[in-house]
Amino acid sequence: MAALLLWPGFRPVMAGTGSPRREVFDYTSMSGWPEAPDLTAASVYMIELNSGAVLVDKNSREQSFPASTTKIMTCLLALENCQLDERITLSHDAIYDIEEGGHHYDFQEGEVLTVDECLRFLMVESVNEIAYALAEHISGSLEAFADLMNQRAKELGAENTNFKNPHGLNDPEHVTTARDMAMILWGCVQNEQFCYYAGLPSVSGIRGRAVRMEEDFPVFGNHHLMLRSSSDYYDKDVVCGKTGYTSLAGNTLVTYASHGDMDVVCVLMQGGSDRFNDTRLLLDYAWNNFTTRSTADLARELLAQAAEPFTLADTLVPGTSIVFPNSFPFPVLRTLMKTEFSVGEVTDHGTITGTRLWKMGDSVLQREIVEIPYVEETQKPAEPDAGPEAPTLEPYSEPEGILYEDVLGWRLLDLLIIGGLFLLLIILFVVLVWVISTWHQDREEEIEELKAEKEEEKAEKKAEKLRKKAEKEKEKAEKNDRWKFRGH
């Protein structure tokens, strides 16, 4: 059913950050995947949101303590259950039921703040008393609020998370994973108000009573240094995030960043003091090693190359994206990709839902929920002695012609033929080099032999000359001796 990709009326369901459907696709084990940077954090997870592609996974399902990154869930629930101008009264427990070392300000029991003020202090200065007060205001108690947190976490895709409080202070049962925190933050950043409060670089106030930017009020900078322009770690691509630290958790950090067509969430758990540098390395890795392509663009290119006789009108609606490593030659990737379609339910408005998979080998790169029209069968002529049959609906069937898989199959065959010819040329070249090298070596040996023979011949001639000269000298000496003898 892959030809459904090209069928007029095809409508993919959006799955980016603005959609409640959030599915993860992990094909990092694919051969040639870029090597992730060396990080100090024990547990790391990074995912691209428009495609759902996992970019880095390091012990992401190991449970650990989230510390104050817990507050992203507290903030989200406050935005979903409160109005910003609602007023919250700080209770006795909110002030005094905080473990030693967890207090931030000299708040007083009975003080009143708006939800807007609370969220500023919660996300910028990570005030534990504020988290406590919000939990009481929303659910009546910490226990009831923890139940709400866990319910919402499951809705967002968390699988191994158990929240016990709204602030993240030490509790041996308050645990999560890097993967779960990424899924939770993914859900959080779909709320624009969350991005605003979690992205504030600073907040000002006096004893928590006034949150106004005035010169005589102290200014408190966001603990997430990548949001503060005055910090050496500042990164303009970072949209929002949250830090955390407790003696049990160590340093934790969750970050949402956007660059070009890519939106990523990265989570560090059990990190050292270098968590901001770790996050910078992760973001550089994402921006420099990957490219996103929309499924609509991919379909358009494949359609054009296949020379399908169908029109493009109303066929290619912008949908989801697929992430590709830059190290993979895209023409080859495009050739090896294939789509699979499975039919789902029939709707009341004359369409049928289904699922379209984008695959490469056994790896699923993307899944889209699509709708296609039913084709109504024309009324059949009446048979003898039988009344006319009622018209029936029949699911869409593939049109005749070149199918999507056929085109990809021929492309793959072409690729194999070209590869075979290229390999043959390499073999011929190697053989030719070997033949030339062997001839050259033999020729050099012949030349050396000729040189040796000439040297030997020259030496023999020289020796012969010396022998003849010696004989002449000897004859001359004997002749002289005879004359001397006669004279005496």
Work out whether strand 87-89 and strand 112-114 pair parallel, antiparallel, or are unpaired: antiparallel
> According to the 3-state scheme, what is the secondary structure of 419-441?
HHHHHHHHHHHHHHHHHHHHHHH
Residue located via tokens 């095809």: 10
Beta strands in 347-445 (DSSP E): 351-360, 363-373, 375-376, 393-394
> Which residue out of 71, 139, 242, 294 is catalytically annotated?
71
Q: What are the φ and ψ backbone dihedral angles of 30, each rounded to 5 degrees? A: -60, 140
CB atoms within 10 A of CB 244: 27
Catalytic residue among 60, 64, 126, 321: 126
Structure tokens at 206: 């006096």
Composition of the chain by helix, strand, coil, percent to 5: 40, 20, 40
Distance CA(173)–CA(195), nearest Å, equals: 28
Residue 71 · residue 176 · CB < 8 Å: no
Angle (CA) 232 237 238, round 5°: 75
- List the one residue out of 372, 345, 368 whose CA is nearest residue 6: 372
Cα-Cα-Cα-Cα dihedral sign, residues 447, 449, 453, 458:
positive
228 close to 219: Cβ distance less than 8 angstroms: no
User: Which of 198, 358, 189 has the alpha carbon at shortest distance from 264?
Assistant: 189
- Per the annotation, the verdict on 31 as an active-site residue is no
**Residue among 192, 187, 165, 148 at smallest CA distance from 70:** 165
Segments of 200-337 assigned E as strands: 202-204, 219-221, 238-246, 250-259, 262-271, 290-294, 321-325
How many angstroms separate the first and last alpha carbons of the chain?
133
CA nearest neighbour of 165 among 249, 82, 97: 97
The reply to whether 68 belongs to the active site is yes
Beta strands in 260-350 (DSSP E): 262-271, 290-294, 321-325, 338-346
* Residue from 43, 64, 68, 294 carrying the catalytic annotation: 68
- Catalytic residue positions? 68, 71, 126
